[in-house]
Amino acid sequence: MSGQSTTRTVPGNAGPGAARTGSRTGQRLSGLAVALGMVLFLGGFAWGAVVYRPYTVPTTSMSPTIGAGDRVLAERIDGADVRRGDVVVFQDTTWANVPVLKRVVAVGGDTVSCCREGRLTVNGKEIDEPYLPKGTAAEFSAFSEVTVPKGRLFLLGDERSGSVDSTAHLTDAAGGTVSRGAVQARVDAVVWPMNGMLAAPTGPDGFEQLGALSSPGPLRTVVALVIAGAVLVLGGAAYGPLARRAGASRARTSAGATGGR
Query: Is the separation of the CB atoms in 154 and 112 below 8 Å?
Result: yes
pLDDT per residue of the chain (261 residues) written in tens, 0 to 9: 444 444 444 444 444 544 453 468 878 888 999 999 999 999 999 999 999 999 999 999 999 999 999 999 999 999 999 999 999 999 999 999 899 999 999 999 999 999 877 889 999 999 999 999 887 878 777 888 999 999 999 999 999 888 999 999 999 999 999 999 999 999 999 999 999 999 999 988 999 999 999 999 999 999 999 999 999 999 888 877 766 666 666 666 766 665 555
Helix axes 219-260, 24-51, angle to 10 degrees: 160
The Cα-based distances of 206 to 113, 168, 250 in angstroms read 15, 24, 66
pTM (2 decimals)? 0.83
- At 155 the pLDDT is 98
147 forms bridges with which residues in the sheet?
Answer: 111
- At 140 the pLDDT is 73
- At 174 the pLDDT is 93
CA distance 69 to 57: 5
Give yes or no for a cis peptide into 193 (omega within 30° of 0): yes
- At 249 the pLDDT is 64
Residue 237 main-chain phi, psi, to 5 deg? -65, -30
